[in-house]
Chain A
Amino acid sequence: MDYFLELLLGGLTRGSIYALIALGYTMVYGIIELINFAHGEIYMIGAFTALIVASVLTMNGMTGISVLILASVVAVLYSAAYGFTVEKIAYKPLRQAPRLSPLISAIGMSIFLQNYVLLAQTSDYLPFPNLIPVLPFMEPYSQLMGSTELVIVLTTTVVTVILTLFIKFTKIGKAMRATAQDRSMAMLTGVNVNRVISNTFIIGSALAAIGGVLIASHVGRINFYIGFIAGIKAFTAAVLGGIGSIPGAVLGGLVLGWTESFATGYVSSDYEDVFAFCLLVLILIFRPAGLLGRSTAQKV
């Protein structure tokens, strides 16, 4: 039973992070119907920025929670800036192009960003300091769930709630929903569609950076390639839950996290990624609209 509980909580942590990254995918897809392949790389850049800032700060004698906060804030800002720039360079000139073009451009951008970090930094794994402090009241449960894991789950919950409220009630959120429904109609009612798309990229990238800082603290090491697998898995999570839907992304993340956790725990740990991909294929075959998505008929 303990083993089961351990896997359950492990899957919850894992799933929370997938959910954070999946939110960015799902928002971008909802608005411009593009799989932003570079999203995983934005998350990787967030983790790298946090590592660099944290290292520089600790070497200059700073310690404690302030390092975590400063590093996270800088990472979020930088990731948002990267997301914004990537959209302007690789996707905006292709608004009118056939669907295949922005997709290929996105793959190119992803390869570019990976190799940019590889060349500018290093190809080795870098140890990532655990910035999240150990919470004393979690001490008795440390066998099951550490403080880092607790922080991850709580952050995801808070972020999701804020995002849901933001999209529901603010003006920017309303403009985003309008653009997702019908871009030309939104334009006619005075929504600045280009700005909405930029906003979406900025918000999605900021969420990815939070995910990056959290997972790097959890795993304890990063390299330039972490964004690739994380990106595919987060995309799987987004599709699983129904792409375009925010609660769907969270649900999908959790389902994926648990699937992986139980499959590696009870079946075999060698095939961790295979389970994720198989789940993706199965979902797409049997329920292409995802768990919470609505299937839309193609209009001619």
Chain B
Amino acid sequence: MKALSEFKKALIISLWFMLLTFPIMVIRVNTIEKVVEWRWRNMAFIGIGSFLLSFVWRYLLGRKEKGRKLAEAGSVEARPFSRRLLDEPRIYRPALAAVTLFAVAFPFLFSSYQTNIMTTALMYVMLGLGLNIVVGLAGLLDLGYVAFYAVGAYSYALLNHHFGLGFWAILPVGALLGVLFGILLGFPVLRLRGDYLAIVTLGFGEIIRLILENWNEFSFGPSGIANIPRPGLFGIQMSLNEATIYLYFLMIALCLFTIFVVNRLQDSRIGRAWIALREDEVACQAMGIDKTKTKLTAFALGATWAGMVGVIFAAKTTFINPASFTFLESAMILSIVVLGGMGSIIGVILGAFILILTPEYLRAFSNYRMLLFGTTMVLMMVFRPQGIVTNVRRIYKFRARGRDGEPSQA
């Protein structure tokens, strides 16, 4: 009987979706030639698809519910599987060695096209780690992160155009400008709660983009800036291929630097203040943590990386215009953080590789790229809000059944 009612539910759901998607999916009007195209096949796909998916959906929801009950009863292993895997030295040491070897050999094994894609993925790793500070650690939803990225890119392009400054001189300048804009954005939004913050940061991102687009005398408008030089290396002349490989290794080095810094930050005093702020703002203030300073450092330190990656982006593509810095870019970086697991470094790295490389290598899906991002964000929030790799916070708890009552680290 249960199976029958489940079947009936799925049937109703599939009928509902067929009805719901009917005008958008089935009918397409050509208003110029005045013809209507009926695409009945799509309706069949939707029907079958939603019928099957409704089973999966309810199965997963049920499993999640069961998992929650188990966790409440306290009978579930505190450390998730992925974390146990990463903590096991016999597994992570060879894995680390293999990844290092692969990373070093990559540009020599594959074409410069592949290397380019990899460099892009590494750029997103850095962006993701930067946003992770703001969103994952401090819990401030920043939807205008791309603004800092744009600031970095334009600072290189403009300073180079007007003053002829080189890549290495501007890389720290880009980072500093990122910090400056981070604080600039941070000040007005200090008092805002989560959702207001999201919309103001979104507005901030759009303001920066619109200014870049419209202020022609300053930013050359929508046509952008071309002929930005690639990064140099002690004045050595490099071919295009060599420059690509050089940029790749530069990116690897910068990523390692970012990982190192973010990792250290996480366990520092300020990092723990961020996490406390994320968990409970009122309690955090009651513990004597300066809210203003903590929030501002989160914005500033998050924006640093975006400013740096912006400089690299300008140097890599040698051409920038405001169209590269839309809200979708912010959404993409955010979905990297969400998919990977908010607050988890390994998770963000994995998230960046999955979201950037999958559409590149599965060309058939490249049209569906944004559709998949959106779906990922919803599904991750519904079924696995902690991301692929769960970030395990240091917890100390007393073992209730300990023989001598000694506190043990769990």
Contacts and interface: CB of A to CB of B under 8 A. Distances in A.
Given A59-B36, A97-B381, A101-B385, A120 B192 contact: no
A141 to B, nearest CB: 30
Contact of B338 (A48, A85, A104): A104
A53 to B, nearest CB: 7
Contact of B139 (A56, A100, A239): A100
Interface string A257-300: 00000000000001101100110110011001000000000101
B374 A277 contact: no
B28 interface: yes
Given A34-B195, A300-B282, A107 B24 contact: no
B367 interface: yes
A89 interface: yes
B382 A93 contact: yes
Contacts of B29: 51-52, 55-56, 59
B298 to A, nearest CB: 14
Interface stretch (B90-98, B120-128, B201-209): B201-209
Contacts of A49: 23-24
Contacts of B19: 81
Contacts of A285: 188, 191
B249 interface: no
A52 B206 CA distance: 31
A90 B139 CA distance: 20
Is the contact region of chain A dominated by helix, strand, or loop, or is it mixed?
Answer: helix
B375 A112 contact: yes
A100 B210 contact: no
A119 interface: yes
Interface residues of B, number: 60
Nearest to A60: B36
B24 A116 contact: yes
Contact of B214 (A110, A114, A117, A271): A271
A109 B20 CA distance: 16
Interface string A38-72: 00000001001101110110010000000000000
Contacts, number: 164
Question: Which among B207, B328, B381 has the highest number of chain A CB atoms within 10 Å?
Answer: B381
Interface in A85-129: 85, 89-90, 93-94, 97-105, 107-122, 126-127
A153 interface: no
Interface string B6-33: 0000000000110111011101110100
Contact of B24 (A56, A120, A277, A280): A120
Given A119-B371, A228-B327, A103 B206 contact: no
Contacts of B376: 108
A235 interface: yes
Given A112-B375, A120-B25, A281-B188, A103 B36 contact: no
Given A90-B382, A101-B385, A298-B282, A280 B200 contact: yes
B195 A56 contact: no
A93 B380 CA distance: 12
Contact of B141 (A52, A53, A104, A113): A104
Contact of B368 (A78, A119, A122): A119
Contact of A107 (B27, B34, B42, B377): B377
Given A85-B20, A300-B282, A288 B381 contact: no
B323 interface: no
A206 to B, nearest CB: 15
A209 interface: no
A8 interface: no
Contact of B374 (A33, A51, A108, A278): A108
B30 to A, nearest CB: 9
Given A112-B375, A112-B378, A271-B214, A288 B192 contact: yes
B319 interface: no
B374 A110 contact: yes
B331 interface: yes
A144 interface: no
B211 interface: yes
Given A56-B36, A107-B331, A232-B203, A78 B370 contact: no
A45 B21 CA distance: 10
A59 to B, nearest CB: 6
A100 to B, nearest CB: 6
Nearest to A99: B194
Contacts of A201: none
B199 interface: yes
B371 A116 contact: yes
Contact of A100 (B28, B192, B194): B194
A82 interface: yes
Contacts of A102: 381
B202 A232 contact: yes
Contacts of B195: 33-35, 99, 103
B34 A59 contact: yes
Interface in A175-207: none
Contacts of A119: 367-368, 371
Given A59-B36, A85-B20, A111 B207 contact: no
A49 B84 CA distance: 51
16 contacts: A85-B17, A90-B378, A108-B374, A108-B381, A111-B377, A115-B370, A115-B371, A120-B25, A120-B42, A122-B28, A239-B196, A239-B199, A274-B210, A284-B189, A284-B196, A285-B191
Closest 10 CB pairs of A and B: A108-B377, A112-B374, A111-B374, A277-B203, A105-B381, A55-B29, A108-B378, A270-B214, A115-B371, A115-B370
Given A34-B195, A35-B195, A99-B195, 18 more contacts: A45-B24, A78-B23, A81-B20, A104-B381, A107-B331, A107-B377, A108-B377, A111-B371, A115-B371, A119-B368, A127-B31, A232-B203, A278-B207, A280-B199, A284-B188, A285-B188, A285-B191, A300-B282
Interface of B: 16-17, 19-21, 23-25, 27-29, 31, 34-36, 42, 61, 135, 139, 141, 143, 188-189, 191-192, 194-196, 198-200, 202-204, 206-207, 210-211, 214, 282, 327-328, 331, 334-335, 338, 342, 367-368, 370-371, 373-378, 381-382, 385
